[in-house]
Chains A and B, each alone.
Chain A
Amino acid sequence: MPSLKDIKKRISSVKSTQQITKAMKMVSAAKLRRAQEAAVSARPYAEKLQQVLTNLSRREEADAHPLLVQRGKGRALMVLMTADRGLCGGFTANVSKAAERFIRDNEQGFEAIDLLITGRKGKEFLRSRVGESIVKVHENIGAHLNYKTASMIGQEIVSSYEDETYDAVYLLYNAFESAISQVVTLEQLLPIKAEAEQEVAEDTTDYLYEPDRREVLSQILPKMVEVQIFRGLLESNASEHGARMAAMDSASRNAAEMIDKLTLQYNRARQAAITKELMEIISGSESVK
């Protein structure tokens, strides 16, 4: 049976842990709001770009640009977006496991699948499992996320696709659904798939292109990759804060539960001690009579 002093010590230690988790939750909530805004305000750009691309590719033969051409199944690159810091529940584990599964499932399909990881935690998680696949890691992107970083990664990917290092590029990240729910999402980055022919009333207006179609297409397609990366990073960032907030919330609640239990134990022990003392006094006074 632990002594009164021991129990008291434990209570105060759990209390200070709870204070920390509570503070982290608040910080994450604030960061989440900002990240969410950024993710939402990036959407119109991506959607508009997609629209234009759909418009373009409808009039264009499939092999109009290298980035549209389906090549054989050689090497593939997977871009995996994870967190730089831990304490965010299953955030990194979920997406990393999905990557691992994808690699195992598609081993036959490709010669090899390489991994490009953003975030330190994903690297640590996968190093022991599929370490040989990891070709590049970008750390600390999430903290100062800007378009420049995304476009840098995008250009890197596009050029490695163009020089045929890779024949397909996939993107795997936690899409932001709500503060408490993230969905592991797999997207094909390259070759760019022209949207499935929609049944919309075909606007037959022929566009004028300046300088010309090919030129416009060759500028927009790489942009598309950059934008998708940027969007993935934003969503992943928002998801991370959401996941951390949820994890810290449940940690705080668990701590509260534990404090309750310990307090009960403490009071019981205290009462037992009092009873014992009383009995000693009474029996002592009885014996002197």
Chain B
Amino acid sequence: MAEKLTLEMVTPYKKVLSVDVDEITAPGTIGELGILPGHTPLLTTLKIGELSYKQDGKISHVAVNWGYLEVGDDKVTILVDTAEKADEIDLERARAALSRAEDALKTLTQEDAKFAVMEAALQRAVARIQVVNDR
């Protein structure tokens, strides 16, 4: 495949990625979406999850937090709150966070103010663990 996508990923702290890739899979708010070169211009919000991209046949994964993604002219710009590559993730910590969130969710109900917070924490932990496992 001659054509490539330019992927740029930035967080408020720094530019995380700036690479040419063949394919991107991102966790959109209303469902997973795959992007190939020649994609129509698109703007979508992202949810907590795992974003992966294929570069020269090699697939890499990144855990992302809230953000959004813009596709235009074979250029993909992703703005996220946090982005962690597999080697930056502390698996032990993610596991601990997961069990902590699970325990908390058992005692909480939907109406609790903390419910959404813990649910988000749970999703983040799951995304992190997934990224490490997919490595």
Chain A interface (Cβ within 8 Å of chain B)? 38, 41-42, 44-45, 48-49, 52, 56, 147, 150, 203, 205-211, 215-216, 219-220, 227, 230
Among the listed B8, B15, B73, B79, which residue makes an inter-chain contact with A41, where contact means beta carbons less than 8 Å apart? B15
Q: How far is the CA of A206 from the CA of B43 in the complex (A)?
A: 10
Chain B interface (Cβ within 8 Å of chain A)? 8, 10-15, 28-30, 33, 40-45, 68, 70, 72-73, 77, 79, 81
Q: Is the interface of B mostly helix, strand, loop or mixed?
A: strand
Cβ contact within 8 Å between A207 and B45 = no
- A215 partner residues in chain B, CB cutoff 8 A: 45
Minimal Cβ-Cβ distance residue in B for A206: B41
Cβ contact within 8 Å between A45 and B79 = yes
Minimal Cβ-Cβ distance residue in B for A205: B41
Closest 8 pairs (CB-CB, A-B): A210-B44, A41-B14, A208-B42, A45-B10, A147-B12, A205-B41, A207-B41, A207-B43
- A205 partner residues in chain B, CB cutoff 8 A: 41, 72-73
Cβ contact within 8 Å between B41 and A48 = no
Please name 26 pairs of A and B residues whose Cβ atoms are closer than 8 Å in the assembled complex, sorted by A. Answer: A41-B14, A44-B10, A44-B15, A45-B10, A45-B12, A45-B79, A48-B10, A52-B43, A52-B70, A52-B77, A147-B12, A147-B13, A150-B12, A203-B72, A206-B41, A208-B42, A208-B43, A209-B42, A209-B44, A210-B29, A210-B45, A211-B29, A211-B30, A211-B45, A219-B45, A227-B12
Chain A nearest Cβ from B49, distance in angstroms: 15
Q: How far is the CA of A41 from the CA of B10 in the complex (A)?
A: 9
Minimal Cβ-Cβ distance residue in A for B14: A41
Other CB < 8 Å A-B pairs besides A52-B43, A209-B42, 9 of them? A38-B13, A42-B12, A44-B15, A49-B79, A52-B68, A147-B13, A147-B81, A207-B43, A208-B43
Cβ contact within 8 Å between A230 and B12 = yes
Chain B nearest Cβ from A144, distance in angstroms: 14
Cβ contact within 8 Å between B68 and A216 = yes
A41-B13, A147-B81 as given contacts; A210 in contact with B70, CB under 8 Å: no
- B29 partner residues in chain A, CB cutoff 8 A: 210-211
Q: How far is the CA of A223 from the CA of B125 in the complex (A)?
A: 23
- B30 partner residues in chain A, CB cutoff 8 A: 210-211
Minimal Cβ-Cβ distance residue in B for A151: B81
Cβ contact within 8 Å between B12 and A220 = no
Among the listed A42, A44, A216, which residue makes an inter-chain contact with B43, where contact means beta carbons less than 8 Å apart? A216
